[in-house]
A = this chain, B = another copy of it.
Amino acid sequence: MSLIVQKYGGTSVGTPERIVNVARRILATKEAGNKVVAVVSAMSGVTNNLIKLANEVTGDADPTEREMDVLLSTGEQTTIALTAMALNAMGAKAVSLTGAQAGIKTDGVHTRARISNISPEGVHELLDDDNIVILAGFQGETLGGEITTLGRGGSDLTAIAMAAAIDADLCQIFTDVDGVYTCDPRVVPDARKIDEISYDEMLEMASSGTKVMQSRSVEFAKKFGVTFEVRSSLNDNPGTIVKEETMSMESVVIRGVSLERAQAKVTISAVSDTPGTASMIFGAVSDANVIVDMIVQNVSKTGITDISFTVNEADVGKAEEALKPVLAQLGEEATIEAQDGIAKLSVVGIGMRSHSGVAAEMFKALSEGGVNIEMISTSEIKVTVTVSEDQIDKAAQVMHDAFGLAEA
């Protein structure tokens, strides 16, 4: 008998019929001889409706965050009750638990709380009494008994944290894709599902455009050593196992290729290469609530340098506006230039650590494929380049071929 934590997202429980399907899947797991805790999200659309109601009653004011948590937590509470009663109607023995009832304690930062502790005794008791436990994702309570929510990706986090707390044998994150792919199959038709991937690779894939899960949940899993599987709730295909890296993983140089479109590049030319310059630039951009992704600065030759960075295309105007007031302080000749229509291509793999020449191989392949590289940035297990957005599909296929990712 295994102890299994499953997580079903909002799309998987988006209608009464789908809730019944999810209940069947949970029951099948139980009947295969396992103990099951199933974490469920709010039915898709419900959270947005609640936010709409909140905006309607508060007008121009921002809804109180404490009350947003009281409001939004009803979404998951609705799903746990419906899922548990669906299971009971099938003759199973199921009990729903809110985050608070399941002993999930958080700090008091409403709408984006962090889990501080889980007391799993209640869950264990229910499981020992042969119950299926249906657990509300995304929520917990403070020590003072206030309802909190965990922010984006919170239900994945609930599943992984509960799996750690009850020392589950397996944690399955059910979603609407079959797992993590070597590249987006809509772009690269021979992209292959990855069987196993390390936490670090998963994190680098996520941060470079492969949006299967929020980085936060993967980081939590890494910290507590929770092995989990990302798989589809629509079929029975095995998914992608995300785990500690193993020796054998290193034999694969590149695990996958990530894409991110709709980026823009901002270049500030002829800035003084003096202490405080970068801090002045990125302080101004950050104050405008613009998130900067890649940053590239070349070595200075004459005390004058260029700094480039990428932002989401939607933010480029805000970034330019934020920089204009500080431009004069950056250097007499300093100019700003922004360019949209940029895309980002990353190759990720822990094998890079022990294989030299990945970047060179990448540039060679792109060059032979006629793709022009604009910016380059590297980390220990990732090489990222930016290219013109209209070349990204071609670039992705070239990379996928160059590193032989279509073959298992």
A66 interfacial contact with B, CB 8 Å:
yes
Within the assembled complex, what's the spacing in Å between the Cα atoms of A146 and B101?
Answer: 8
Within the assembled complex, what's the spacing in Å between the Cα atoms of A147 and B100?
Answer: 11
Q: Are A67 and B84 in contact (CB under 8 A)?
A: yes
Cβ of A59: which chain B residues have Cβ within 8 Å of it? Answer: 89
Report if A71-B82 is in contact (Cβ < 8 Å); known contacts: A16-B56, A77-B77. Answer: yes
Within the assembled complex, what's the spacing in Å between the Cα atoms of A20 and B82?
Answer: 30
Within the assembled complex, what's the spacing in Å between the Cα atoms of A147 and B73?
Answer: 14
Q: Are A89 and B61 in contact (CB under 8 A)?
A: yes
Report if A81-B89 is in contact (Cβ < 8 Å); known contacts: A16-B57, A57-B20, A145-B101. Answer: no
Within the assembled complex, what's the spacing in Å between the Cα atoms of A89 and B66?
Answer: 13
Within the assembled complex, what's the spacing in Å between the Cα atoms of A289 and B189?
Answer: 64
A238 interfacial contact with B, CB 8 Å:
no
Q: Are B61 and A88 in contact (CB under 8 A)?
A: yes
Closest Cβ–Cβ distance, residue A99 to chain B (whole Å) = 13
Cβ of A98: which chain B residues have Cβ within 8 Å of it? Answer: 70, 147
Cβ of A66: which chain B residues have Cβ within 8 Å of it? Answer: 95-96
Residue of B nearest to A136 (CB): B70
Provide the A28-70 mask, 1 if CB < 8 A to any CB of B, else 0: 0000000000000000000000100110111111011011101
A268 interfacial contact with B, CB 8 Å:
no
Within the assembled complex, what's the spacing in Å between the Cα atoms of A393 and B81?
Answer: 46
Most B CB contacts (10 A, CB to CB) among A58, A61, A83, A146 go to A58
Provide the A10-34 mask, 1 if CB < 8 A to any CB of B, else 0: 0000001101100100000000000
Q: Are B64 and A84 in contact (CB under 8 A)?
A: yes
Cβ of A50: which chain B residues have Cβ within 8 Å of it? Answer: 78
A221 interfacial contact with B, CB 8 Å:
no
Which residues of chain A from 63 to 121 have a CB within 8 Å of any chain B CB?
63-64, 66-68, 70-71, 73-74, 77-78, 80-86, 88-89, 95-96, 98, 101
Cβ of A16: which chain B residues have Cβ within 8 Å of it? Answer: 53, 56-57
Cβ of A58: which chain B residues have Cβ within 8 Å of it? Answer: 85-86, 88-89
Cβ of A73: which chain B residues have Cβ within 8 Å of it? Answer: 77
Within the assembled complex, what's the spacing in Å between the Cα atoms of A139 and B86?
Answer: 23
- 29 A-B pairs within 8 Å (CB atoms) are namely A16-B57, A17-B56, A50-B78, A53-B82, A54-B82, A57-B83, A57-B85, A57-B86, A58-B86, A58-B88, A58-B89, A61-B88, A61-B89, A64-B84, A64-B88, A67-B82, A67-B85, A67-B88, A67-B96, A68-B85, A70-B81, A70-B84, A70-B96, A71-B77, A71-B82, A74-B78, A74-B81, A77-B77, A101-B146
| Minimum-distance CB pairs A-B, first 10 | A71-B81, A16-B56, A61-B89, A58-B89, A70-B81, A74-B74, A57-B86, A67-B85, A63-B85, A64-B88
